[in-house]
Amino acid sequence: MVWVYGSLVKPGRFHEWSDVDVALESLPAGMTLEYLQSLLSADVGREVDVCLIDRTRLRPVIEGSGERWIA
């Protein structure tokens, strides 16, 4: 499961210099956070911050106001 949170999901807050904040339940096999972050940033064309939902103090905020994507 993936959550998108931060300025991207807040109307009027996302702008040309905003990053994309993503929280994951787990990393894909063989990936590190840093590697996944660099792949996503290159693909999206802007900085992407990736965290693991069970390792961040922002979990309540992310689950409360983020958008959950189920793949």
Domain boundary assignment for the chain: 2-69
Q: What's the confidence (pLDDT) of residue 57?
A: 96
Cα 10 from Cα 65, distance rounded (Å): 9
Check pLDDT > 70 for residue 42. yes
pLDDT level of residue 40 (50, 70, 90 thresholds):
very high
pTM of the model as a whole: 0.87
Write out the chain in H/E/C secondary structure: CEEEEHHHHCCCCCCCCCCEEEEECCCCCCCCHHHHHHHHHHHHCCCEEEEEHHHCCCHHHHHHHCEEECC
pLDDT digits (tens, 9 = 90+) for 3-25: 999 988 888 889 888 899 999 99
- The single-letter code of the amino acid at 17 is W
Q: For residue range 27-39, what is the model confidence (pLDDT) as tens digits? A: 999 999 999 999 9
